[in-house]
Structure 1
C-alpha cells in the first residue's frame, strides 16, 4: 500500500537571531521536495502553511514566564498549537506528516501533535542540544529550547501546549552533538535522554550510532519522530543555516543515517528545520533537505 506524506509548512523565525529562516519552507518546496519524495514511492499532499504572524508585527516580550526569557513566546505558542492540530489530523488520516521549518521552535508543535494518543520515540539530529530553558538560555531564543519544552523541563513543566504527553525522555536520542551550553549540558546529563556526540560518530561510525539511536526511540513505541536540523551537517555540506558549527556529519553520513531510519520502517513524523535561503549557496541546503527526507522515507539506490 502506498504511503501518503502530508507536507505542512511552518514559516517562522521567532526562535532565531538571524532573519530569513522563515523562507525555509518555500526554499525546500522550490528545491523539488515533491519530486524527491515521489522517488521514494510515496504520494505527496501539500497542506500549505500554518499561519505565522510576522515577527515585525509583534512584541517579542508580550508573553513571558515568571523567570527567565523566551522571546516571541506568544507567537511560538500560536504556531505550535495550530501545527500540532494539523500533525494530529494527518496521522489520524493515516498519513506521515512532514513539517518544513522555519526555526527549530516549530518542533514543539510537530512533536506534541505526533505524541497525542500515542507513545512515541524521537531522534534529534542536531549540532545543538536544544535543551535550554528560559532560565538557562543565554539568548532567550526558543529555537534552543524545543526538546526541553516537549519534555517538560524547567519552566516548561506546567506548560500544557508545549509538553508532549506521549514522549518519554528515555525514548529520545540526540545524535551528532558538538555545541552545547554549560547549563544545558548539565540538564541533559541529569535527564534520561540518550546522547551521541560527533566523537561517538567518529569512533564508531554513523551506522552503529544510528542503529543504537533507533533502538532507544523504538523501544515500546508506536513510531518515531525524526527532528532534522540542517546544522547537523558540516557547514561545507549545508551552508544555509543560521548557527553553523564546524565538524558536522558528511553528506554520505547523513544519508546513511536516514536510510537506516527507513530500513526500520518506524517513521511516524518528521521535520526539516533551520534552512535559511539568505545564507545558502544556490539553494544547496534546501536541496539537501529534500534528499534527506526522501532517504528517510525509503529512497533506494537499487
Structure 2
C-alpha cells in the first residue's frame, strides 16, 4: 500500500464558492486520513476569487490560477521527493494544472482522468469561463498561455499520455460547442464503453494504453461527479447516470495495483449538499476500499 500524504488544496478559482472548498475538512472528518493511515502534508491556501470573467482570456481568475498552480506544484513536489503518494483534496478540477506542472518538470507522466464530464471546453465555448470545465484542455496545451504554458512547459501532458474515463456529457458537449475529445487523440472511455466491457477490464485496457508510451508513471484525477447521480447528488453540475460505489473502488484497486500511479487528487464533492454527512462517509469508505487494499 502506498504511503499517503494528504495535501489540502481547497481552491475554487476554476469554479465558484458554493461549498466545494469545504471538501478537505469533510472527507477528513469522515475518516479518510485515519483510514489510509495518511500523514498530513499541509494546506495550500487558495487565492482571492474574482467572479468577473477576464476579457482577455475569457476565463475566471487567470492570474490567480497561475499563481496557485505554482504553489500547489511546489507542495506536490515536496511530497514526491519523500517517495510518498500525494493525495490532493480539492477544490475544483483546476487543481490538475499545478499537479501536472509538477510532473512535467520531473519527466514524462500520464494522466488518468476520472470524471463525469470530459472537461475539454475551450474558453469561448464554456458558458461561465470556469476552468474546472477545461481541465483536460488546459493540461494538454489548449487554452490561454497564462495557464497552459507555465514555465514554458506546454503541454503539461501529451494527448497520447491522457485517459479520459467515465464521462457521460457528450450531449452537453455538442450543445455548447466543446472541442471533441475523441478527435484529439486522447484515449477516451465514456460511460457506455465502460459498461460494455466492465469497469475493471476497461481500466486495465486504459492503463495499457498509457504504459505503451514508456511513461515514468501516471496521476489519478477523481471528480466525484463520475459517480451515479442517485448516490452522489452532492455536486454542482449533476448528470443522470454514472458509476456505482463498488465500481469506483474496483477501478481504484486496479489503478493502484498497477504500481504506476504516483498520486491522486479528489475534487468537486460539495459538503453543503450533503446535509447529514452520509454521502461523505460512503465516499470515504469507497476511497479507502480502493486505495488502501494491499
**TM-score using structure 2 length:** 0.90
Cα distance in 2 for partners of 1:218, 1:164 equals 21
After TM superposition, give the deviation of residue 154 of structure 1 in Å: 3.7
CA gap of 1:65–1:161, structure 2 versus 1, over 3 A, is farther
Question: For 1:247, what is the secondary structure of its paired residue?
Answer: coil
Match of 1:111 among 100, 115, 132: 100
Question: For 2:106, what is the secondary structure of its paired residue?
Answer: coil
CA gap of 1:176–1:156, structure 2 versus 1, over 3 A, is farther
Match of 2:87 among 79, 95, 98: 98
Whether the 8 Å contact between 2:234 and 2:273 is mirrored in structure 1 is yes
Cα distance in 1 for partners of 2:80, 2:52 equals 32
Question: For 2:149, what is the secondary structure of its paired residue?
Answer: coil
Kindly report which structure 2 residues correspond to 1:26-41, keeping only aligned pairs within 5 A, or say none: 26-38=25-37
Kindly report which structure 2 residues correspond to 1:1-302, keeping only aligned pairs within 5 A, or say none: 3-17=2-16, 19-38=18-37, 44-55=38-49, 58=50, 60-61=52-53, 64=54, 66-67=56-57, 69-156=58-145, 159-161=148-150, 167-180=157-170, 181-182=173-174, 186-219=179-212, 220-299=214-293
After TM superposition, give the deviation of residue 164 of structure 1 in Å: 6.0
Cα distance in 2 for partners of 1:77, 1:223 equals 24
Tell me the number of residue pairs that the alignment of Structure 1 and Structure 2 aligns. 289
CA gap of 1:112–1:291, structure 2 versus 1, over 3 A, is farther
Whether the 8 Å contact between 1:111 and 1:164 is mirrored in structure 2 is no
**TM-score using structure 1 length:** 0.87
Whether the 8 Å contact between 1:50 and 1:83 is mirrored in structure 2 is yes
CA gap of 1:288–1:226, structure 2 versus 1, over 3 A, is farther
After TM superposition, give the deviation of residue 296 of structure 1 in Å: 4.5
CA gap of 1:158–1:265, structure 2 versus 1, over 3 A, is closer
Q: Any idea what the Cα deviations from partners look like across 1:102-146, whole Å, max 9, x if unmatched?
A: 111111112221332121111111110111121221221110011
Cα distance in 1 for partners of 2:136, 2:259 equals 23
Question: For 2:40, what is the secondary structure of its paired residue?
Answer: strand
Cα distance in 2 for partners of 1:164, 1:267 equals 22
Question: For 1:76, what is the secondary structure of its paired residue?
Answer: helix
Partner of 1:41: none
Question: For 2:250, what is the secondary structure of its paired residue?
Answer: helix
CA gap of 1:207–1:158, structure 2 versus 1, over 3 A, is closer
| Structure number with higher strand proportion | 1
Q: Any idea what the Cα deviations from partners look like across 1:181-235, whole Å, max 9, x if unmatched?
A: 1266543133110111111122111111111111122231111100000000012
After TM superposition, give the deviation of residue 239 of structure 1 in Å: 2.1
